[in-house]
Amino acid sequence: MNKAKRQAVIAGNWKMNKTAAEAAELINELIPEVSGADCGVVICTPFTDLPVAVSKTAGTNIKVGAQNVHFEKSGAFTGEISADMLTELGVEYVVIGHSERRQYFGETDVTVNKRVTAALAAGLKVILCVGESKTEREQGITAELVALQTKIALMGVSEADLANVIIAYEPVWAIGTGLTATAEQAEDVCKGIREVVASLYSNSAAEALTIQYGGSMNAKNADELLAMPNIDGGLIGGASLKAPDFGAIVKAASK
């Protein structure tokens, strides 16, 4: 696998943080930190921050993403947001299948797949999250579980559409806990994801796929994680809310 054939992408997942005014302030701090980066830079903000995020990042190298999307175009789905609503705002990316959506809001592999196909059909780029819990890792089923999640999520996705998909491996036990998979553990799973994609599509499609690590990557461990041959970026939680820390991770991915 030739890592030079794919772009590293660092995406910040702000989760349920920042009012619109606070978002504007943070973006002002982020712009000089990531200017000129030799990698993709994305910020995934709460829905209410998206208009200001799109406006403030115009003309910069920062792209804007949402944290979820519904699979229907419209209808009686109180509290949900459609892909067309996001694209009309100027949003380019969307996170789908984050472990917190699965854990707290009933997201399943099947609904993840429906959201993925709806987002791609609307022209959005997808950051697809997969990963195992602590119990599942201890049971030794990480590889099988992540492969299953990947296969179901990509059902109906063509090889052409796969070009607009990033897969983020996020071990659930390492999100918001301060724990981080070792570089070797993360590399092993990301390598496995690439092999699954090769089996579903082709070696060239797998080689071109950006795979992120999403479990407590921070300014201190980013260099080691990003040096792995199958880790092409990060889906960043807490560190994305601190401009210097996020900037340091972007710099690590730009090397």
Backbone phi, psi, residue 74, to 5°: -170, 175
- Backbone torsions φ then ψ of 251, nearest 5 degrees: -65, -40
All residues at 6 or more sequence positions from 23 whose CB lies less than 8 Å from its CB, including other chains: 14, 45, 49, 52, 53, 56
Annotated active-site residue 70? The verdict is no
Q: Please give the DSSP secondary-structure letter assigned to residue 200.
A: H
CA gyration radius, the chain: 17
- Asked if 54 and 44 count as a contact pair (C-beta separation under 8 A), the reply is no
Find out whether 245 and 16 touch, Cβ atoms under 8 Å: no
**Residue 98 catalytic?**
yes
Q: Name the catalytic one among 33, 70, 98, 100.
A: 98
Active-site hit among 33, 100, 107, 170: 170
The SS3 assignment for 253 reads helix
Handedness of CA 166, 169, 174, 178 (dihedral sign): negative
Q: Are 89 and 50 in contact (CB under 8 A)?
A: yes
CA dihedral 231, 234, 235, 241 (to 10 degrees): 170
3-state secondary structure of 9: strand
Q: What is d(CA 166, CA 138) in angstroms, rounded to the nearest whole number?
A: 27
Q: Comparing C-alpha atoms, which of 155, 59, 153, 136 is closest to residue 101?
A: 153
Q: State whether residue 8 is helix, strand or coil.
A: coil
Query: Where in the sequence numbering do the catalytic residues fall?
Result: 98, 170
